[in-house]
Amino acid sequence: MTVGAWAAMSLIVRRELCLSFRRPGQVLQPLVFFLIVTTLFPLSLSPQLSLLRDMAPGVLWVAALLSSLLSLDSLFKSDADDGTLEQLAICGQELSLIVIAKAAAHWLVSGAALVVISPLVGVALGIPTSAFATMMLSLALGTLTLSWLGAIGAGLTVGLRRGNVLLSLIVLPLAMPLLIFGANATDRAIGGTSPAGPLYFLAALCVFTCTLAPFAATAALRITLE
Amino acid sequence: MDAGFWSMGGYARFVWPCVGLTLAVLAWNIWAARRLYAKARIRAERALAMAAMDRA
Amino acid sequence: MWTWFYKLASPPYVYRVAAAFAPWLLGLAAIAIGYGLIDGLVFAPPDYQQGDAFRIIYVHAPSAWMSLSAYTVMAVAGAIALIWRIKVGHAVAAASAPIGASFTLAALATGSLWGRPMWGTYWAWDPRLTSELILLFLYVGVMALRPAFEDAGRGDRAAALLAIVGLVNVPIVHYSVQWWNSLHQGATVAKFGRPEMDPSMLWPLLSMLLGFTMFYAGVLCIRLRGEILNRERSAAWVREAIAS
């Protein structure tokens, strides 16, 4: 009995979500890291909200970036460790579809969760509520793109001994444009000007990455699994 | 090539380090490339010698 | 005609040919760079706006240009190696990376020193400088990824994939001055049609660009031989090549 592509993908998504909720720690730790990192900046720089507001977009985005990097490590790792990844590669389904499903599930429990708790961080950093919509939209687009860029990096580094350091080294330069436009969008929303420009650019980056990255990530996995 | 040349219109402390730095990078490239090749050759000779010993 | 192309896929052929080409390429490079530097530093008239500081262009622009070209060569060679399984491509990519990274460093450093008197700052987070810095990080990433694998072939393939992914940055660096408001000046030579520079300033620049390109090719030949030896150590042809 062969399973259709959609059915296979939804199976993978459900499996990933199931496994994630079975180990809530793995899901919560990057989120807590996100909260802690954003706390570091007011502590080290200045507690005044009016001053924090100026750096808030940057702080928010750097924290989101670093926290996403932490959670990316687990994208393929546990499957690679117990051999599931090889089984997925030879099971007859298109590997790129499986990778899409895994990355989508991963984003749901990491990036989407970040977007949901971002208002908390926004309040802590003095971002006005009028900017929240832009902030959350830019974070959503950015973390989605990052999930994909990270999937390429994770595919290349899964199984390497110092894999997570190398993963950061590989993914961060590729993620810098995201940082620029995401922080810029939030910055403009705080300042009152229209964030449409950077948001469109973020959306374009997102579409570009989400369409091409699955192929690169699949190629990376095949290289690792050979 | 009088004093005017060396002072580069007052910008000497920017122009000459740039030239020197670039020439240093060029020199490093040649040195590093030859070093890589020399090391590779030594390793290849060693591998050949060991293979010859295995055959003997 | 295509037999020449097929021969390029053969490591012993490339190993021999690179040895023959390297001294010529480096010799011609020395002449072109020597002429370019002398003509540019001594004989070219000072710029009416920047004075003698503009002469930094003679080392900055070729370095920056080579930093982009070397990355492109690295990515294309890696792609050829990945798609058609031509192993020499991996050797070319591995050889190209450190050369390109050194040129990127030179471009960033000379650019910084040029920016200080011209813009008043050693650094600015403008699109071209930022994307060139990202290029440096991409080089470092590729050079760090390759040796991280126990199996050298896998490391080569992973590095090739990463180089291809990062290739998107190269047009960004090049077109950043057109697409965004940038502190950095626009293209001088690469515009089709009349370049904006006076010929007495332009010729040494072209000579430097040519000289750097030949220098890169010559150094690549030397590195390439080392990389091929490292990959083909146990092959039969190496025995005769080493013995001679």
Q: Do chains B and C touch by CB distance (3+ pairs < 8 Å)?
A: yes
Which pLDDT value is given to residue B13? Answer: 86
Q: What is the mean pLDDT of residues B42-47?
A: 91
Indicate whether B32 pLDDT > 90.
yes
> What is the DSSP annotation of A64-125?
HHHHHHHHHTTTTHHHHHHTHHHHHHHSSS-HHHHHHHHHHHHHHHTHHHHHHHHHHHHHHT
Residues of C with Cβ-Cβ distance to A220 under 8 angstroms: 158, 161
Indicate whether C157 pLDDT > 60.
yes
Which pLDDT value is given to residue C83? Answer: 93
Closest residue, chain C, to A157 (C-alpha): C145
Closest residue, chain B, to C53 (C-alpha): B11
- CA B7 vs. chain centroid, Å, equals 28
End-to-end CA distance of chain A: 27
Residues of C with Cβ-Cβ distance to A169 under 8 angstroms: 137, 140-141, 144
Provide the residue range defining the domain that includes A84. Answer: 5-225
Token pair of C213, please?
């390109």
Which pLDDT value is given to residue C185? Answer: 73
Smallest Cα–Cα separation from A220: which of A101, A104, A96?
A96
The nearest CA of chain B is from the CA of C53 a distance in Å of 6
Smallest Cα–Cα separation from A172: which of A75, A77, A62?
A62
Indicate whether B1 pLDDT > 60.
no
Domain coordinates in residue numbering, chain C: 18-189+197-243
Q: What is the mean pLDDT of residues C220-234?
A: 93
Residues of A with Cβ-Cβ distance to C154 under 8 angstroms: 223-224, 226
**Distance of alpha carbon C106 from alpha carbon C129, whole angstroms:** 13
**Distance of alpha carbon A67 from alpha carbon A35, whole angstroms:** 9
Which pLDDT value is given to residue C137? Answer: 94
Residues lower than pLDDT 70 in chain A: 1-2
pLDDT, averaged across chain A: 88
Token pair of C84, please?
């058609």
Closest partner residue to C233 among B26, B33, B44, by Cβ? B44
Q: What is the mean pLDDT of residues C93-101?
A: 97
Any chain C CB within 8 A of the CB of A174? yes
Closest partner residue to C229 among B14, B22, B41, by Cβ? B41
Which pLDDT value is given to residue A48? Answer: 80
Q: What is the mean pLDDT of residues C70-93?
A: 95
Tell me what ipTM this predicted complex has.
0.89
Three-state DSSP state, C47 = strand
Longest CA–CA separation in chain C, Å: 62
The dotted CATH code for C18-189+197-243 is: 1.20.120
Q: Do chains B and A touch by CB distance (3+ pairs < 8 Å)?
A: no
At what angle are helices C57-84 and C199-231 packed, to 10 degrees? Answer: 40
- A72, A192, B49 from B56: Cα distances, Å: 52, 82, 11
Three-state DSSP state, B1 = coil
Tell me the pLDDT tens digit for each residue of C182-209.
777 776 655 544 556 788 888 999 999 9
**Distance of alpha carbon A206 from alpha carbon A44, whole angstroms:** 33
Which pLDDT value is given to residue C16? Answer: 92
Which pLDDT value is given to residue C187? Answer: 65
pLDDT, averaged across chain C: 89
Indicate whether B26 pLDDT > 80.
yes
Closest residue, chain B, to C22 (C-alpha): B30
Verify whether the Cβ–Cβ distance C223 to B11 is below 8 Å.
Answer: no
**Distance of alpha carbon C104 from alpha carbon C132, whole angstroms:** 7
**Distance of alpha carbon C196 from alpha carbon C188, whole angstroms:** 6
pTM for the complete prediction? 0.89
Range scoring the smallest mean pLDDT among A208-217, B9-18, C27-36? B9-18
Residue with tokens 């070093």: B35
Which pLDDT value is given to residue C192? Answer: 45
Three-state DSSP state, B2 = coil
Three-state DSSP state, C51 = strand
Smallest Cα–Cα separation from C38: which of B52, B1, A52?
B1
Which pLDDT value is given to residue C194? Answer: 52
Verify whether the Cβ–Cβ distance C165 to A216 is below 8 Å.
Answer: yes
Residue A126, number of CB atoms within 10 A of its CB:
18
Which pLDDT value is given to residue C81? Answer: 95
Closest partner residue to A166 among C130, C145, C165, by Cβ? C145
Q: Work out the pLDDT band at C1, boundaries 50, 70, 90.
A: low
The nearest CA of chain C is from the CA of A18 a distance in Å of 31
Number of structural domains (chain A) is 1
More confident residue, B14 or B3: B14
Highest mean pLDDT among B13-17, C5-9, C150-154, C156-160: C156-160
**Distance of alpha carbon C77 from alpha carbon C164, whole angstroms:** 10
Residue with tokens 């003095």: A126
DSSP C46: P
B residues 1-56 closer than 8 Å to C (CB):
1, 5, 8-11, 14-15, 17-19, 21-22, 25-26, 28-30, 32-34, 36-41, 43-45, 47-48, 51
